[in-house]
Structure 1
Amino acid sequence: MGRRTAWWRAVCRVAVVAAVAGALGTAGAGAGTPSAVAAGTPAPYGFSPDATAVPGVAGTADTALLQPGRTYRSSLPVTGGVHYRLELDAASRIYVSATAVPPADATVSASDGIRVSVRDAEGDSCSFETESYGGGRSARPITAVAAREPSAERSRCAGAGTYYAVVERVGTTAPEDVAWDLELATFSEPPLRDTAATTAPESWDSASPEPVTGEAETRDGGTGFASAVPLAQGVWRADVVPGQTAFYKVPVGWGEQLSASAELAGSAEGSRIAVGALELSVHNPVRAPLDDVSLNYHGTRRSVALDPLPPVAYENRYGNTDQVRGVRFGGSYYLVVHVAPQLAERFGDGPYALTLRVRVDGPEERGPAYAGRFAPRDVFTAVEAGEPGGSAASGGGSGDGSGGDDTVLTVVAVGGIGGGTVILAVLAVWAGVGRRRAPQSWSR
């Protein structure tokens, strides 16, 4: 497939998702679906509307079952870990993401955060990750991911059976602390159909690319991972307010390389400074944090850029750094922007003009052949058994590989969408086509 075709399909898919989100938000604003963030009062974290409420318990007895590909809502107490049960096969890689959401007015220190681990039936750790707030010390959604990866080197986590996901708070607590809300998401990666290399690529272009230029297009962010607003390569603008966290997602295919920067426009002159006024982070399709940067704001225009990620490759999982290991599959990569409440104390309530510059470089490549299906499929791009290759832009692993949705996507992207009736008609056609076709300690 040519690069031009892949790019066009990426643009079309972004147009479809954005139009669907806009139409549904207009037609069913009272249905409980998270909506995009607009300027004004910061919205709370947007939990997935499909999330199932489950209790977290202190031990392994009477634990709620988490099924791969599903999203759940729970609560994280001030002290002690909460346990959930996993029933796993012997071959799939399972990832458990936990997003903790403290109250907006909570006080957090640099060492406060969460730890997520996956353990076997005997309580031995298969992997864990700790994520803390760091120097920003601004209460916001925080995410960590742990995994069960079958490995010859870690035989105790290689078999089928019962495992447990455990989430706990780290850092210091105070008597006035309260429980945090918790969103759990589970992901399943099937084994490969054929063998693959077991070493990471030795070199890749880590130089910062030229910033993307052009006219900025307005695109407000979502309030959570489930409502993350799609972005293609380009320049994007939004109005943000102190205390807000905005979520975006970028399709990145096999062999492609993501880079991004964020800029706050000037608002005032003076000697004041807001430390850690804005934080930009990037997460992979299973929501694992890969990198983050922050900027101090002086009232004048400031920008900050993430280090370019390595090109997406299956073999990255054998790399030596968290950033490389996390770029292991194509799909939706998330950009999360948080504006610290302290900005209001120094420079006012805003809104402030945010500019995101997003670049996706590199030649499109065919992904590896998997002997099964990802769960959930919509956030991944994979080459599964009996399906053609593809990138996140082209939606490889779409069913029977017929590519029959291109026509629908092209009609939507070229013709534009102005109302819910057209959306529903397009979705009906599309559905018909579908019926025909902390440091992460992930083991290797």
Structure 2
Amino acid sequence: MEPRCTAWWRAGARQRRRLSPGAARGSVVGAVLCVVAALPGAGAAASGTAPGVPGGYDFAEGARTVAGASGTADAVRLEPGETYRSSIPANATLTYRLELDATTTAYVPVTAVPSADATVTATDGIRVRMQNADGDFCSYGSARFGAGLSPRPVTALAMREAGKTLCQGAGTYYVVVEHVAASGADEAPSGDWGLELAPAEEPRLVQAGATNAPQAWDSASPEAVTGEPRRRDGGAGFASARALGQGVWQAEAEPGQTLFYKVPVDWGQQLHATAELDASTGDGGTGGHGGYVSGALNLSLYNPVRGYVDDMALGYSGTRKTAALEPLPPVEYRNRYGVLGEVRSTRFAGAYYLVVHLNGQMGGTFGQGPFAVTLRVRVSGASHAGPGYAGPSDPRNLFEVTAADRAAAVTGSGGAGGVTAGDDPAMKVLAAAGIGTGSALLLGLGAWTVVARRRAGIQMRVNAQKPTA
């Protein structure tokens, strides 16, 4: 144990005898943090650096790195429930392989991550499709940067739906990913992009229900949630998305930054969200309040398998601006039979992802910020039991809201999938150092044991030197 940490612990020991249990625990945490600060690499981790992460995106921890194939013959196999990391050159097409049974529905979301300094056009993006061994298309999806012209993570979904006309039966299926980049002579290439693939499977139902979507639901925009904003910084990727519940939440974003949040939405509940970009001070900007940025703030919503639900973008001239997602139907299994995309995509309960991107062009017009962003989130409606799946999803608990998820929405931690720092400053430092609560506890106990043993040894020597009667 570091000498300065030992001194801190000894000094605090005298005070802990007179402190309340909560304050005493704080003193223990202080000693543990001292140990953490002394660990190799802790300083770099606490600073928030993330070497090797393109565009600041936080790829899933432990994601296996795989290479996409140029064709089906040597396509690497993806396992549902696992997360994979790959990369794709400009204007390239890569193929990955799945082995599916006849009864489950498979989803493969693909997130493309350009570098922060990439040059992109409105039509740049990715196209993904799933096809069977005969080359028949099962589904098709795409995602583009749009008029904002700001590089950011974009996600598209490929899927094989059991029970539909196309692509039925067990066998080999392929996920094909295309990097669509500008090819004009006056446009710079957008370079290689990182890819994150997160295949998932939804089991069949024990008993089939209605095969038509609800025809009527409350589509009126609810009143915005009011109240004092609470600070909740976003994550840097789907895997590290911070949990949110109903309420008013505030964060700060720098130009080019993307924030990820997840909201637990149970069966029968509706999600509504608005985003507000605060007024600019004009500090450091070349344009001050006289400028304008199209697509200054983008708010996107994705479902539990990272499928696109809705998005909105707001233009910005320096004054406070608000925009809202379209009203969504209550989450129901039979929404998948709907006509509209926002109905079909709200087909299951679980974590719905709110992704906030601040346009990189904001820096040149209004300064480097950071800019205050306020999210108003409402989750309405009574929850009810799920449709009755015949088995677990892969990954598990993907299409349900657990008690841990609800608690995480209040504290800001990671919910059932893991523990994060939440809003506790001490735990943020521990998390930044790469140490979980269990390891922190062991460190604390270790520090306590070292000091206790030293004190016991000193006391034994003192007692041995005392004259006997």
Task: Give yes or no for the alignment of 1:168 onto 2:181.
Answer: no
Task: Give yes or no for the alignment of 1:239 onto 2:248.
Answer: no
1:69 and 1:357 map into 2 onto residues whose CA distance is 31
Task: Give yes or no for the alignment of 1:328 onto 2:340.
Answer: no
How do 1:7-406 and structure 2 match up within 5 A? 44-154=56-166, 157-173=167-183, 176-268=189-281, 270-381=289-400, 391=401
**In the alignment, is the contact (CA less than 8 A) between 2:277 and 2:372 conserved in 1?**
yes
1:147-176 alpha-carbon deviations (Å, 9 max, x no partner): 01122522xx11111110110023523564
TM-score, normalisation: structure 2: 0.74
**In the alignment, is the contact (CA less than 8 A) between 2:269 and 2:330 conserved in 1?**
yes
**In the alignment, is the contact (CA less than 8 A) between 1:35 and 1:227 conserved in 2?**
no
1:195 and 1:357 map into 2 onto residues whose CA distance is 36
Equivalent residue letter for 2:94: V
**In the alignment, is the contact (CA less than 8 A) between 1:285 and 1:380 conserved in 2?**
yes
1:336 and 1:369 map into 2 onto residues whose CA distance is 30
TM superposition shift of 1:290:
0.9
Equivalent residue letter for 1:278: L
1:37 and 1:283 map into 2 onto residues whose CA distance is 26
**In the alignment, is the contact (CA less than 8 A) between 1:252 and 1:392 conserved in 2?**
no
TM superposition shift of 1:270:
3.1
Distance 1:270 1:426, change over 3 A: closer
Distance 1:418 1:102, change over 3 A: closer
1:226 and 1:247 map into 2 onto residues whose CA distance is 9
Q: Secondary structure at the match of 1:75?
A: strand
1:101 and 1:182 map into 2 onto residues whose CA distance is 6
1:128 and 1:206 map into 2 onto residues whose CA distance is 28
1:74-103 alpha-carbon deviations (Å, 9 max, x no partner): 011212310001011111000001000111
1:257 and 1:362 map into 2 onto residues whose CA distance is 6
Q: Which has the higher contact order (CA 8 A, sep 6+)?
A: 1
**In the alignment, is the contact (CA less than 8 A) between 1:35 and 1:222 conserved in 2?**
no
Q: Secondary structure at the match of 2:173?
A: strand
**In the alignment, is the contact (CA less than 8 A) between 1:34 and 1:47 conserved in 2?**
no
Bigger Rg, which one: 2
TM superposition shift of 1:138:
1.0
Equivalent residue letter for 1:172: A
Equivalent residue letter for 1:50: G
Equivalent residue letter for 2:340: T
Worse-superposed segment, 245-254 or 170-179: 170-179
Q: Where does the alignment leave 5 or more consecutive residues of structure 2 unmatched?
A: 1-32, 282-287, 407-415, 417-423, 443-469
2:309 and 2:189 map into 1 onto residues whose CA distance is 32
1:367 and 1:427 map into 2 onto residues whose CA distance is 38
1:377 and 1:422 map into 2 onto residues whose CA distance is 22
TM superposition shift of 1:417:
9.7
2:153 and 2:140 map into 1 onto residues whose CA distance is 19
1:193 and 1:234 map into 2 onto residues whose CA distance is 36
2:397 and 2:268 map into 1 onto residues whose CA distance is 19
1:260 and 1:34 map into 2 onto residues whose CA distance is 33
Q: Which residue of 2 aligns with 1:6?
A: none
1:398-422 alpha-carbon deviations (Å, 9 max, x no partner): xxxxxxxxxx9xxxxxxx8965699
2:306 and 2:202 map into 1 onto residues whose CA distance is 14
**In the alignment, is the contact (CA less than 8 A) between 1:253 and 1:393 conserved in 2?**
no
Distance 1:103 1:35, change over 3 A: farther
1:310 and 1:393 map into 2 onto residues whose CA distance is 23
1:4-24 alpha-carbon deviations (Å, 9 max, x no partner): xxxxxxxxxxxxxxxxxxx9x
TM-score, normalisation: structure 1: 0.78
Identity level (%): 51
Q: Secondary structure at the match of 1:317?
A: helix
